[in-house]
Amino acid sequence: MISRDDVVHVARLARLALTDAELETMREQLNAILSHIDALRGVDTAGIEPTSHAVPQFNVVRDDDPRPCLSVEEMLANAPDRAGDFFRVPRIIEE
């Protein structure tokens, strides 16, 4: 089942800062859920196509026609940190 290292790794992928206690609780809860989900593994799905759309459709496209953009003000109105007409983010450290 899920190890603590797995949980740490997934929390990193998901960008969630969890305390040690939270990581442990999460590990337990995820394991409980996964043990129920594991019932799926026993289902015989040989030759079955996956469903990615409940009501199958194809070829939905649009024409290359411009639509009005929103103004800078509207787009930046919710910005947590705005610098001029840009969104500002703290220092980016390559992973």
Partner 1 sequence: MGATIHELTAAYRRGETTPSRVTDEYLARIARLDDRVGAYLTVTAEHARAAAHAADERYRAGRPLGPLDGAPIALKDVFCTKGVRTTCASKILENFVPPYDATVVERLAGAGAVMLGKTNMDEFAMGSSTEHSALRVTRNPWDLARVPGGSSGGPAAAVAAGLAAGSLGTDTGGSIRQPAAFCGVVGLKPTYGRVSRFGLVAFASSLDHPGPIALDVVDTALLLGVIAGHDPMDATSIEAPVPDYAAGLEQGVRGLRLGVPDEYFTRGMDAEVESAVRAAIDVLKGLGATLERVSLPATPYALATYYVIAPAEASSNLARYDGVKYGLRVNGHDLIDMESKTRAAGFGAEVRRRVMLGTYVLSAGYYDAYYGQAQKVRTLVRRDFDAAFGRVDLIVAPTTPNVPFKHGEKTDPVQMYLNDVFTIPADMAGVPGVSVPCGFTQTGLPIGLQIIGRALDEATVLRAARAYEGATDWHTRRPPLS
Partner 2 sequence: MNWDVVIGLEVHAQLTTRTKMFCGCPTTFGAPPNTQTCPVCQGMPGTLPVINRRAIEYGVRTALAFECRVNAGCRFARKHYYYPDMPKNFQISQYEEPLAEHGALEIDLPDGRSRRIGIQRLHLEEDVGKLVHEGTLETAQSSLVDFNRAGVPLMETVSKPEIRSPEEAAAYLRAFRAVLVYLGVCDGNMEEGSLRCDANISLKPAGATELGTKVEIKNMNSFRNVQRALEFEMKRQAEALDRGERIVQETRLWDADRGYTRSTRSKEYAHDYRYFPEPDLVPLKLDATWVEQIRAALPELPRARRQRFVAAYGLPAYDAALLTQSRALAEYYEAAVRGFPQPKLVSNWVMSELLRELPGDDERAIEQAKVTPTRLAGLLRLIEDGTISGKIAKTVFETMVRTGEEAAAIVRREGLTQMADAGALTAMVSSAIAANPRAVEDYRKGKTAAGKAIVGQVMKASGGRANPAMVSKLVEEELEKITKR
Contact code string over 32-61 relative to partner 1, x by CB under 8 A: xxx-xxxxxx-x-x--xxxxxxxx-x--x-
Q: How far apart are CA 31 and CA 36, in angstroms?
A: 9
CB of 1 to partner 1, least distance (A): 11
CA angle in degrees (0–180, nearest 5) for 32-35-37? 110
59 token code pair:
């070829």
- Cβ neighbors of 27 (< 8 A, separation 6 or more) are 2, 3, 4, 6, 7
Residue 20 site contact among partner 2, partner 1, none (CB < 5 to 8 Å, cut-off depends on kind) = none
Nearest-approach distance from CB 12 to partner 2, in angstroms = 10
Of 1 and 72, which CB lies nearer to partner 2 in the complex structure?
72
Chain centroid offset of residue 13 CA: 9
For the stretch 74-83, contacts whose Cβ atoms lie closer than 8 Å and that sit 24 or more positions apart, written own/partner, are none
* From partner 2, partner 1, none, interface partner of 66 (C-beta below 5 to 8 A by class): partner 2
Residue ranges in contact with partner 1 by CB under 8 A: 2, 6-7, 9-11, 13-18, 26, 29-30, 32-34, 36-41, 43, 45, 48-55, 57, 60, 62, 70, 74-75, 77-81, 87, 89-93, 95
